Chain A
Amino acid sequence: MRNRFGPKVGNFEVPVPPAIDVENVSKSYGKLLAVDRLNLKVDEKQVHGFLGPNGAGKSTTIKMLVGLLKPDSGSLRILGQKTTGDNPAVRRRIGYMPELPKFPKHLSGLELLDIYGQMYGMSKEERKSRASELIKMVGLEGRGKDRIGGYSKGMQQRIGIAQALISDPELVILDEPSIGLDPVGMVEVRDMVKDITKTGKTVFFSSHLLGEVQQICDHVTVLNKGVSLFSGPLSEIGNKAVSRRLVVEVEKTTDAISNYFKTLSYGTVESTGNTFTLHLNTTQDIRAEVSRGLTAAGGVIVGMRGEGGGLEDAFLSLIGKESLAS
C-alpha cells in the first residue's frame, strides 16, 4: 500500500486517510457468518471493484459501510470518519446506490433528486441545476417529471445513479449497478459508471460480473463466503490464477525436448505437433527457466506466450481455493 500525504501543516504532512478503511469486520445473521474478519482499504481516487459471487457478503459489507447494518466486531471508516452508529456527517460525503434501488413511486424523478438534494443542504438553485444535469446524464431527459411508479427497471437504475451523485460526493458507492438489466441496459449503465470514474471521484462498486469490473476498475477486492481472497491492483490479480498456461512452440520436436518437458514439476504438459502447453500449477514466472532448458535440450524456440491469468481465471482460482479450503 502506497503512502499518501495531504497538504502540509507547518512542517508536517497530514496523511490522507483511505476513502474506505475496513478493519477486521465480522457480521453474522443468526448462525450464518456473512462477513468474516474482513480487511479492506480503498485509497482516494481509486476505482475499486468489489467482486464476489452472489451471497459472498458484498451487500452486507456495503450496508455496514453506509450505516444500514451494525458490524458484530471490527471498525469501518469512510474518509477517516467512523461509519458505525447514526452518523449523517459521514453520509453527507458519500453517494450510494443500493442494489435494485427502490424509490417512492409517488415522486417524480426530478422531485426525488430535489428532495434528496435538500437533505444534503443544497440550495434551491444548486439542486435545480444539478438535478437537470443528472437527469440528462443518465438519459432520462423528458421523463424527469414523470412519477417513478411509471419507470421501468432500467429507468429506476438510472435514477438510482443520479441520486447517488446529487450532492457531487467525494466517494460513490454502487451496489451491483447493472444487476437485473438487459444487455443494452447493462452497457448503458456501465458507460455511466465509466463517466463517473472520469470525474476523479473515488468509486467503490460491487459486482458479480467480471467483465464489468475489468472494464471499469483499477483495483479489486475478491470476496467469497465473507472472506477477502484478494485485494490489490487489478493488474496483479492475474498472478493469482493457478490455471495459467504457458504455450511454447519449437521449431522441431525431439525426444530431448519431450523429455525436458516431462522433467518439469510446474504442472502437466500437453503436446500437439511442435506446440507444448504447460498447465501451470504455480504463479511463478518460469519463462526464463524453460527457455534455458529447451536451449540446453537443443531446441529452437519459435514462440512462447502465457495464456489465462486474466481476471476470470484468477477469480475462479481464488474461489476454487477458498472452496477447497472450506
Chain B
Amino acid sequence: MKETRRGGKLQAFLAVLRYEFLWNLRKKKTIGLFLIVFTFVTLRLALFPLLDYFSGVTLRPDPSFVFDNVSVLQPTLLLFLLAIATTMNTISGEFESGTIIPLLTKPVSKGLVFTGKIVAAFLTLLGAYIFLAVYTTIGGLIIYGPQNNLELVPAGVLGLTAATMVWAAIVIALGTLSKNSMVAALGGFGIYLGTTIVGAILTIYLGATSILFYTPGDGPTATTATCGAVIEGNATSFITGTNGLGSVIMNWILNPALSVNFCGIRFRGNRPETFALSAESISTVALRDIGVGVVYIIALFVVSWLALRRTQITE
C-alpha cells in the first residue's frame, strides 16, 4: 500500500485542485456573479436586436459581433468582480474559517497547496469564459449571421482569463497578507476604483498617456483612425491595458502589421484639442500588455507565496 502512495505528488495536486474547484463552484457569490455576467452577455447579445424588432428596424448582419464582444467583458467592472468572487477566499478564507489547519497538516507542501489554488482559480475563470464565449458565438451566429475570425475566439478567451488573473493576483495577495477576505475584497476594489478614476482623469487631461500602459486596468485606448480626424467606417479602437488583453491579442493575431495611434489631449485656450501622441505597431502594444500583465501576476503571486510560506498558524 505504501508503494502505491509514493508517487503521490500528482495525486496530492489533483486533490488540492478538486478541493478548491468544489469550493469555487459551490460558493454562492461565484454562482451569483456568474449569473450577473451571464445576464450582461445575454443583454449584449439580444437587447439591441429586440429594440430594433419592436421599433420596426430590420436587423442587420454583423459579421464582427463575436470578434468585438468575446474578449472584453463590458463593463470591465464585471471582470474585476468575477476575480473577487473567485479568489477573495482563496487563502484568507482558509485562515478565517480555520480550515487551513487540517489542510496544511496533510502530506502536501505549502507550495503545492498554493499552486493548486492558483491553478484552480485560473481554470474556474477559464471554464466560465469558455462557456460565455461558446454562448456568445452561438448567439452571435443565430442573431447576427455568419461571423468572421471565429478561429481567434480561443485566443480572446485566454487573454480575458489572463486579464482577470491580474485582478485575481491582487486580491489573493491582499488576502494572503491580511488573512482577511474583506480586506482582500475591499482593498482590491479600492485599487480597481483608484486606477479607474485616476486613469479617467489622466485620460481627460492628457489623453492616452504612457503611464496608463503600466497600471492594471483599461489602459490607454488605441485607434486605427487618425487622431483628431473624423472616424471612418473601417477604423477600430480598443483598450490596451491589462483589462484589454483579450482584444489586444486577437487584433495582434488578426493583423500583425497593424499600426495604432494613441491620441493626446491639449488645451488651446479653453478648448481641448486631440493630437497624435504616439503611433505603435500592434505587436509592440501586445507584447508590452502581455509583459505588464505577466509581471503583475508573477510579482503578486511571489508576494503571496512568501507571505504564506512565512505564516505560522497560531490560532
Contacts and interface: CB of A to CB of B under 8 A. Distances in A.
A122 interface: yes
Nearest to B26: A106
A300 interface: no
Interface string B290-315: 00000000000000000001001110
A88 B106 CA distance: 7
Given A105-B97, A119-B107, 15 more contacts: A29-B314, A69-B314, A86-B309, A98-B101, A102-B97, A102-B102, A104-B23, A106-B23, A115-B15, A116-B15, A116-B106, A118-B14, A119-B12, A121-B8, A167-B5
B104 interface: yes
Interface stretch (A89-97, A220-228, A261-269): A89-97
A27 B49 CA distance: 69
A interface SS class: loop
A121 B104 contact: no
Contacts of A120: 5, 8, 12, 106-107
A263 B309 CA distance: 66
Contacts of B314: 29, 63, 69
Interface string B80-105: 00000000000000000111011011
Contact of A69 (B1, B27, B312): B312
19 contacts: A67-B104, A68-B104, A69-B314, A88-B12, A88-B107, A88-B108, A88-B112, A89-B107, A91-B107, A100-B98, A101-B102, A102-B99, A103-B99, A107-B22, A115-B18, A119-B107, A120-B8, A120-B12, A121-B7
Interface in B119-177: none
A102 B22 CA distance: 17
A125 to B, nearest CB: 10
Which of B101, B110, B314 counts the most A-chain CB atoms under 10 A from its CB? B101
B101 A118 contact: no
A163 interface: yes
Contacts of B23: 104, 106
Nearest to A62: B105
A126 interface: yes
B312 A68 contact: yes
Interface string B17-28: 011001100110
Interface residues of A, number: 37
Interface of B: 1, 4-8, 11-12, 14-16, 18-19, 22-23, 26-27, 97-99, 101-102, 104-112, 309, 312-314
A226 to B, nearest CB: 15
A126 B1 contact: yes
Nearest to B313: A68
Given A104-B19, A120-B8, A126-B1, A86 B111 contact: yes
Contacts of B309: 86
Interface in A96-142: 96, 98, 100-107, 111, 115-116, 118-123, 126
Which of A29, A100, A105, A119 counts the most B-chain CB atoms under 10 A from its CB? A119
A66 B102 CA distance: 10
A41 interface: no
A119 B108 contact: yes
A86 B110 contact: yes
A102 B96 CA distance: 10
